Every structure is written in structure tokens, then in C-alpha cells.
Amino acid sequence: MENIRAGLRGEVIGQAVDNDDDGDEDECDDDIGPEERRNFKQALHASKQSAWEREHLHKIPNRAQGFGTSGGAQMRREQEGMGHLISKFFIYENVPAEKASSHHSKNMVLGCQQANVGVQPPTPYEVRNKYLEMKYKDIGEYVNKLRSKWETNGCTIMCDGWTGLTILSIINFMVYSKGKTIFLKSVDASDHIKNYKYIYKLLRDVIMEDGEHNVVQVVTDNGSAFVKAGKKLMKHHNVFWTSCVAHCIDLMFEAMGKKENIANVVKRARTITNYIYNHSWLLAKMREFCKGEIICPTTTRFTTNYIALDNLLKKKAGLKQLFTSDD
């Protein structure tokens, strides 16, 4: 009874919610900005207070009505109504259902629950201008917070080049430090010759921008210009240059695929998969007997070949049943 009286005075409620601030920190993802983190904690705090009230106020005399069976049914109806409206947004606006588990989605719902009746949602103009600018400032604060730790923990600069179908050439720079990766900038290299001198200049500028005393390592792909630029960096700056492991493995697969005995196996396997995937009825039967796909597209065609070979070996029994079936 003393707890109930204290709850009516707001003491227990405040204690039940305020003491869980550390838990709020755990529920906040590290990739959200300071302002959004504060809003999330406020909304979560109010939500926990409401949950406490629903759990404990029914114990108070003369307050049981409305929190019993009828109250639970009312809560379920409200939840279904809210779920129906939110699901309509996901369905009609073609938003992937997986986004419902995003902390941004949950944060939005919590904020709506705490808003007063009559509060209007933002307009498209406000989203594109006012709130985008606010988010840009939040991200800037988050990046500056990470930058302040580079001097203590050091950082790795990662460089990756991309060329599109229109010969547009982009070089992206990212910074990694203690489990956190941020995008630094992109450079349009379409009008430049990407020799080692140009790559070296870009990498040197990024090192100076981030602080030469903070940079421990530079990671690039295995292109000849990048390799030469990386080795030159190690001569003139106190950094390590490392080639990209994923690109190394990709080049290994490519070199292996050029060997005659391996190329013949890949060619024969491709004949089988082409025959199956070019006949819809046979493809449906293959999925029925093998319980899955043979070809699983990946980011590089060299990896795709070896994954397909592995799947053919794993599904060998199912394929035998398929081609010996009376169907």
C-alpha cells in the first residue's frame, strides 16, 4: 500500500523510469545523432512510465475498472488499429516490411504516441529542408565525436574506386576506427588519368585532412596504380599500406578460373545450369527436388561460378532424382 501511495505522489513512477537510463543507452543505436538520441530517450522514458502505470495502477482501490479484462481488450483493439494504419503505409508506399524493426521506425511511433492530439506531421518541404538540415547537423556532431577519438585509437583510411557504364569514375574514401566506419568523401575522377601520382595525391590529401598523426593504415584495392601509390605513401609517411583482402581473393578466383582443368569444369557446369534455367517447367521441378537454387548471384562473377559449383555438388542427389524421375 505504501508503494501505491508513493506511486500516486509520482515517487515510485519516477524511480521506476529514471533508474533505467543506462538501459536506454543500450537501446539507442550508436549511429543515431545526439538530438535524435535525446528524443528517443524522452519518448522511451514516457513509454516506460505508461507501461508502469498500466502494470501497477490496477492495484489501487477503485482503479481496477478500466484496467481489467475490458481494458486489455481495448488495448488490443487499439494496437490492431495502429498496426493496420502503419501497415497500410508500408504496403502502399512500397516500404520493405523489414524496416518496421528499424530503430528509426520505433522512434517515430514512440514520438507519435507522446504527441498531443492535433499535432500535424511534417510536410514534404519540411522533410526535405528543415528536418534534413537538422539531421545533417546531428550527423556532423556524431562525426566530430568520432574524430575526437582518432588521436587516441588511431584510424584506417579505406579507398575504393567505381566506374559506371557512362565512364563516370568515382573514388570513395571512408575512415574506420574502433568498430566505427564513416563515409568521408567522394572524388569525381572522370576527367583525370588515374595513375599512381594522382592516386598518391588524393591519399596524401586525405591523410593531411584527417591528421597524419591519427592515420595508422591505408587500405586500397590491388590495381597497379593503387599498389604503387600505397608503397610510395609508406616511404614518405608513417603509415602502413594494405591491399584489400576481398579484392585479393577475387583476383585469386579469377586466376584459378583461367586454368584449363578448372575452366573445363566451370564450362560443363554452366551447360547444366543453362539448360535447367532456360526451361521454366524443369526449373520448377529442380526447386522441388533440390529445395533451393543452384545459381546465387554475387557481387563478382568469379565468386558466382564457384558458389554454383558448390551448390551443384551439394544438390547432386536431388539432381539425380530430378533427371531419373518419371515426371
Q: Over 60: is that where the pLDDT of 2 sits?
A: no
Q: Over 80: is that where the pLDDT of 240 sits?
A: yes
The mean-pLDDT minimum among 17-31, 263-277, 303-317 falls in 17-31
pLDDT of residue 245: 83
Q: How far apart are CA 305 and CA 119, in angstroms?
A: 56
Is residue 222 in a domain? yes
Q: Which long-range contacts (CB under 8 A, 24 or more apart) does 147-151 make?
A: 147/210, 149/177, 149/178, 150/175, 150/177, 150/210, 150/211, 150/214, 151/211, 151/213, 151/214
Q: Over 80: is that where the pLDDT of 32 sits?
A: no
Average confidence (pLDDT) over 270-292: 90
* Contact status, residue 196 vs residue 228, Cβ threshold 8 Å: yes
For the chain, the domain total comes to 3
Of 243, 267, 286, which residue sits at a domain end? 243
Is residue 130 in a domain? no
pLDDT of residue 278: 92
153 and 223 both lie in a single domain: yes
Average confidence (pLDDT) over 49-64: 53
The mean-pLDDT minimum among 66-70, 82-86, 139-143 falls in 66-70
Of 114, 132, 159, which residue sits at a domain end? 114
Average confidence (pLDDT) over 194-223: 90
Of 215, 243, 271, which residue sits at a domain end? 243
**162 conformational bin, left if phi > 0, alpha if psi -120 to 50, beta if neither:** beta
Does the pTM exceed 0.85?
no
Is residue 230 in a domain? yes
Burial grade of 298 (CB within 10 A; 0-12, 13-18, 19 or more): middle
Is residue 126 in a domain? no
Other CB atoms within a 10 A radius of the CB of residue 210 amount to: 18
Is residue 33 in a domain? yes
> What is the pLDDT confidence band of residue 304, given thresholds at 50, 70 and 90?
confident
CATH of the domain at 232: 3.30.420.40
Domain assignment of residue 262, given as a range? 252-324
216 and 291 both lie in a single domain: no
Is residue 304 in a domain? yes
77 and 25 both lie in a single domain: yes
pLDDT of residue 161: 81
